[in-house]
Structure 1
Amino acid sequence: MTDKTTSAQKPTLFVDRSGWRKGPWDDELDRYEWKDEATGLDCLIVRDVTLCGYVAVPPGHPMHRQSRDTPDVQVHGGLTYADACQGQVCHTPSPGEPDDVWWFGFDCGHCGDQVPDRNSLDRGTYRNVAYVKAEVARLAAQLKSGKNDNDYDNDD
Structure 2
Amino acid sequence: MIRTGILTISDKGSRGERVDGTGPAIRKAIDDKEYKVEYYNMIPDEIDLISKELIYMCDELKLDLILTNGGTGFSKRDVTPEATLKVIKKQAPGICEAMRQKSLAITPKAMLSRAIAGIRDDTLIINLPGSPKGAVENLEFILAALPHGIEILSGSGGECAR
Query: Does the alignment reach a TM-score above 0.5?
Result: no
TM-score by length of 1: 0.30
Return the structure number with greater helix share.
2
